[in-house]
Amino acid sequence: MKIYTKTGDKGTTALFGGTRVPKHHIRIESYGTVDELNSHLGLLRDQDTDSQTQEFLTEIQDRLFTLGAILATDPEKATLKNGKERLNIPKISNEDIEKLEKQIDMMNEDLPEMTHFILPGGHQSVSFCHIARCVCRRAERLSSALYDIEAFDDRVLIYLNRLSDYLFVLARKLSKQLKAEEIQWIPKKS
pLDDT digits (tens, 9 = 90+) for 53-82: 999 999 999 999 999 999 998 877 665 555
Q: What is the mean pLDDT of the chain?
A: 89
pLDDT of amino acid 16: 73
Name all domains of the chain by residue range, CATH numbers in brackets.
Answer: 15-80+90-181 (1.20.1200.10)
Q: Within 10 A of 166 (CB to CB), how many other CB atoms are there?
A: 24
Helix-helix angle 155-177:94-109, to 10 degrees? 20
For 3-56, write each residue's pLDDT tens digit: 767 766 778 777 677 677 767 889 999 999 999 999 999 999 999 889 999 999
pTM: 0.90
